Amino acid sequence: MMRLISLLSLFICQCSIAQNPFIKSIYTADPSAHVWSDGRLYVYPSHDIDPARGCDLMDRYHVFSTADMVNWRDEGEILNASQVSWGRKEGGFMWAPDCAYKNGTYYFYFPHPSGTEWNKTWKIGVATSKKPASDFTPGGFIEGLSGNAMIDPSVFIDTDGKAYFYYGGGSKCQGGRLKDNMTEIDGAMQNMEGLVDFHEAAWVFKRKGVYYLTYADNTPGQNQLRYATSSSPLGPWTHHGVFLGKTGCDTNHGSVVEYKGKWYMFYHNQSLSNTGKGNLRSICVDELHFDADGSIQLVEQTKTGVSAIITKKAAAPNGTKYEAESAATGGGTSIANGATASGGKYISNLKTPDAYVEFANVNGGKKGGRATINIQHAGAAYGRVKLFVNGVDYSLLNLLSTGNATAFTGRASLTVKLNAGKSNTIRLVGVNSDVQVDYVSVNLLD
């Protein structure tokens, strides 16, 4: 009877987890959503660094993708400040990005300062790849753009194949044509006329022949998202008002995309971190609806997110499980018996920065490459661990409460790079929180 009650409590806890925010393992913001030819929807966000301090620490762009709007895959890190040769020597300040595809190449656009005096030295960098979410090579930056407070690049490719570049900050929004090489402006940038109370976060999309420009306004404390329309991708624009209200944090940034017959609004809030200082944001998605005249209805921000799109059932991932009893422990951690754990044992007392658990001989396959590390865990309260793979510090991961210390229904995931063969190590280090780890699994992506 006690076993039945325990299993029931696990089921209830698992089913009560909200879909929004839809990325929970790390903090993310400024989602840029696109649908590519492989039929998946990809989101290119920025990454808030824990502990909260502000926007100066932001780094390590990850990409996430889905085929059904509910099951999201971390595609891994595609760029960080240390790879940008022309960038600010102190790093950080990698803010809202965007991505575009043309003539067989994916172009990743990102704002980053070139000097210590960051707000006067902004540049828009470009990295390229033949794949949508890996193998990006950083290059130079778009010449001739203003370095003063102009951020948030956005690229729109029209139905005739012409590409347009937008960016803005400090209450100024500009747009212009991109040359076919996607790295140079064709002619002069133009002020986007007709926008009301523009702050930042420009995004352009097209629906039924009408161009829409969405952006964040200057509402004190919590920006809102407004939109304007035009018959031309460069305006002039007609302002229509707010379509996404305050989200609970002092910034607002979104993107709009159509996927499999529905329109979606991506944005961020701070409901996961629930912090009142600094920025620890998380990306969300809700449906976007239009009136008959093309007006955008006010977006209903939900905790449940969007419903799944029915797709062909995907094959189960080829994952390898590493049970608790195979790990080395230290700093006060121990391996305990537990009836609700997968192998009957789990790792306890992963509480402090001295506490760790390490899995050795992790198999990276014949070639190595991207692999998703999944941490199956339990905890009566919110916890965090730091993930090291082959000695590399990847990130702090959020381990959300599962209701009690033996409900092993939690899963935190991050995609990293493994070496070929069985010489890889995965180490989890405590961060002043009490979490229990059931096992770690590894799914090879490449």
The tens-digit pLDDT sequence of the chain (446 residues) is 333 333 333 333 333 345 999 999 999 999 999 999 999 999 999 999 887 777 888 999 999 999 999 999 999 999 999 999 999 999 999 999 999 999 999 999 999 999 999 999 999 999 999 999 999 999 999 999 998 999 999 999 999 999 999 999 989 999 999 999 999 999 999 999 999 999 999 999 999 999 999 999 999 889 999 999 999 999 999 999 999 999 999 899 999 999 999 999 999 999 999 876 668 999 999 999 999 999 999 999 999 999 999 866 655 556 899 999 999 999 999 999 999 999 999 999 999 999 999 999 999 999 999 999 999 999 999 899 999 999 999 989 999 999 999 999 999 999 999 999 999 999 999 998 889 999 999 999 98
- Choose, from 30, 48, 75, 323, the residue flagged as catalytic: 30
Cα gap 199→162, rounded to integer Å: 26
From the list 152, 244, 132, the residue with the least C-alpha distance to 204 is 152
Determine the pLDDT at residue 15: 37
Determine the pLDDT at residue 408: 96
Number of domains in the chain: 2
Residue 323 appears among annotated catalytic residues: no
For residues 117 and 199, membership in a common domain is answered with yes
Question: Who contacts 140 (Cβ-Cβ below 8 Å, separation ≥6)?
Answer: 86, 125, 126, 183
Amino acid at site 286: D
Structural domain contains residue 10: no
For residues 42 and 102, membership in a common domain is answered with yes
Q: 135 with 182: CB under 8 angstroms? A: no
Structural domain contains residue 307: no
8-state DSSP, 58: -
For residues 283 and 323, membership in a common domain is answered with no
For residues 339 and 204, membership in a common domain is answered with no
**Helices vs. strands in the chain: H and E counts, helices first:** 1, 30
For residues 256 and 128, membership in a common domain is answered with yes
For residues 258 and 352, membership in a common domain is answered with no
Structural domain contains residue 210: yes
CATH number at residue 261: 2.115.10.20
For residues 153 and 265, membership in a common domain is answered with yes
Structural domain contains residue 13: no
- Choose, from 50, 59, 152, 200, the residue flagged as catalytic: 200
User: Which pair of structure tokens corresponds to residue 322?
Assistant: 């590493």
Give the 3-state secondary structure of residue 192.
Answer: coil
Structural domain contains residue 250: yes
Q: 248 is in which domain, residue-wise?
A: 18-287
For residues 330 and 277, membership in a common domain is answered with no
For residues 244 and 378, membership in a common domain is answered with no
**Surface-to-core class of residue 296, CB atoms within 10 Å of its CB (0-12 exposed, 13-18 middle, 19+ buried):** buried
Residue 56 appears among annotated catalytic residues: no
